Structure 1
Amino acid sequence: MLPDSIPTVTVTARYLSPDGRPLSGTVTFRAPAQLTFPAADVILGGPVVAALDAQGQISATLPATDAPDMIPDGWSYTVTEALSGVPAGRSYQIVLPAAVPLVDLADVAPTDPSKPNYVPVRGKSAYEVAVAEGFEGTPADWLASLIGPRGPEGKTGPAGPPGEQGPQGERGEQGAPGAAGLVQSVNGHRVAEITLTAGDVGALDQAAADARYVRPSDVPVTSVAGKTGAVVLAAADVGALATNARGTAGGVASLDASGQVPAAQLPAVAAPAVPGTWLPDDYGLRAWSYDLGAGSRTPGDMPSEAGRLYLVGVPLRSAATVSKAAVHVMGYDKPNSTVTAAYLGIYDKNLTRVAQTANVTAQLPETHNMGGQLAGLPLSAPVSLAAGSYYVAILIKGTGTAVPYLAATNWGATSTTSGARAADVNGVHRWLQTSSTTLTTLPASLKLTDMTEGSTCYWAGLG
């Protein structure tokens, strides 16, 4: 197969006997010498012999005789026919220019030996002639050069006959109203001055209307909502809430994303009538683990010096923005003891940390006393919490013998309160502690499998 860079011409022919039978034999195409194509790095040599098939046909693909950069150039093929039953085979010359990619020998082979050979020759195009004559530019430039300046306008010829009427066009826009015209008639009346009756316009006359309807003027208003004169009604006059009551306590509620009424819009709840019942709000808190003053209370040890993290379950009854976590600290003696790190935090029921304090060592009371004090320690940033159960995390590390004490209730292994430390309906336990004793900060998340329930149950709150 010849390289694509060499232009080719396909030569076909069919040979039949006078009675229509296919002939057999060969047709040979010879170039004058070896052909060299430097651009394609190809040298072609030898004749091309095409054998007639069962239909007496041949087909041969040959290099074009005007292929560019071919050595030699300006030559023609010698065609020699050797056909069975035809004793004197013909031999003639043909040129195969690339401009004629398909040639049938029946169109170019000579039939009269006295006539010269027929060779298909492609003539030069008009553009090529122009370039040969000195034109410079592309074919498009040459075509553009053929357009001369516009000539003078000719005389108007005689009018032609009228053409056929075309289809009706679309209806145009309605024009502006014209000047007022004269009234020709009103409801069928054609007199200079027309007076229409109720019947002319399909209405009841006054007498019929009085007989069928009660006019408002016949029933005077004496008061509106108990008011007389120029009455202006307010929302309360018709048993409604004012528009500015939306989103206020006791007003029209604006539900939050969970479909609940925000706590700030709930009506105020009266304090319980049970003496001695204290609520987190009484301490300035949102929620706590239990009432510090309810039941017996045994001061518990501080969280493990070895780095144990304690979790205290705290139920948050309504959504709130929390800015501090609280513990009840008994104090500790300095310089006999030193707190080296103290952190509080908040974890959700999945044990993922949602908030924490900075190191609050400096904010812990230093003097040990039996009464102690409630320490509300600020979070690094306030956090908005939905209603649900959470854990307050406590991690305190120190050195010495008299380390801080935190208020706690000691349920112990023999507690008579069955299930007091079990998980609530949300899966949140009341008290947990880590098995690890090497923690120095609050982890971003915890695993329940790494936690155990401690017998010392610290108090904690959210504020």
Structure 2
Amino acid sequence: MLPDSIPTVTVRARYLSPAGKPLSGSVTFRAPSQLTFPAADVILGGPVVAQLDAQGEIAATLPATDAPDMIPDGWSYTVTEALSSIPAGRSYQVLLPAETPEVDLAEIAPTDPTKPNYVAVRGDSAYEVAVAEGFEGTAADWLDSLVGPRGPQGETGPRGETGPQGERGEEGPAGPPGADGRVQSVNGHAAAEITLAAADVGALAADAAGAPGGVATLDDDGRVPAAQLPDVGGGAVESVNGQTGAVILTATDVDAVPSDDRGAPGGVAALGSDGLVPAAQLPAPSGARNVWTPQALGFQAWSVDPAALANPSATKAAVVKRVYLSGININEPTEVNRVVIFARGWAGSDAVPAARFYAGIYDETGERVATSGQVSTLPAAGQGSGTGPGAKKNHIGSVPVPLMASATLAPGRYWAAFLLSAGSATDFYYMHVQNESPSAPANFFLGEAFQRAWCLDGHTSLPATVDQSAGEVGLDPAVMALALV
């Protein structure tokens, strides 16, 4: 198919014998040389040969001889006819301008035997002549201009005499019989009596069914008969895993683990939808037993057991725009949806409406894996059901900050983060680990550094990443935990 930018002309023709029978043969259209179309990045070469079909017809789509920017230009097609029963076919030139996209050779082929070769050149239309003489307007305007005003109706003339009826003439000879409506050809065969084979209609012969090299037949059940199946050897099964008769195999017969052993004591561990062994099938952590754990008090994990801390006498207020980071160790997949900070004095957002908060979780590479976004409303500390009057009065207790989405933490080390992004220096007092300035005692490690307690100043929201080597470690660390509520 030619590119759309090349204008084309479709040439049609029909060739019949004097008796009205379709001729056979071909018509060749040849340009004088290769044609180059720079705009379409195409070079065309070679003739176009149109074969006459069973009705003696051709149809060929060719580049227009006046295509824009074509190289060369100013040429015509050489048309050569090679027809059956016509020894010497014609050869003549034609122009195919783009303004006539459909043309029939019968309208432009030479008919005068004294002028066997000529170029069909289109002359100017009457409208084009009028425009050349100064007419202004469209072709429709020009046609309208040819119609003058209606003149007055003339008088009715006298009625003429009725002429005598002439004599009936002699009957002329019968004309030659025309082509009848019978089929002229079938699948390319043209004969008085046509017999088609299976191959002529793209089918398999009926005797190919069930024959070697043919096709398989189906029995009354819609299945291939056994006689047409290959011999795979072996015959009927005599035994299965050493058993005969009505054989019933179990997992042990094929050296497999019974499905009932999946997740059962003495069996095999099951995998959850995340491809990991569920926490319920993991062994109990080694170490001390029957001690206070985060789970015993409703948390998933914490930075430190607050009860193990020396209670500093001096209170610490959260510094505005300071990010407090406290290390938390995770040794099994753990789902969380709250970051909890332990308050020594927080009266709630109703009492301190200007305060704004952020909380989040970072992995040990410093990448943020969860965030609360900005939080403008937090409940007062120490107001939970059953809390002692001293804690309620002084607003002491856990303050959970909800995350935007739950996060499942894989085993590893993390930092819980807390930020008072807006408010005043006395809005929020937090429980802290007393430091030994200039360093917090939690930051005692050997090998790869992991600071369990540090801070970053000058932030109005939680950064996407943090760098522990750029943080301050000589400040009082906040006590934080993670929870799933």
Q: TM-score range by the shorter chain?
A: 0.3 to 0.5
TM-score if structure 1 supplies the norm length? Answer: 0.44
TM-score if structure 2 supplies the norm length? Answer: 0.42
Larger CA Rg, structure 1 vs 2: 1
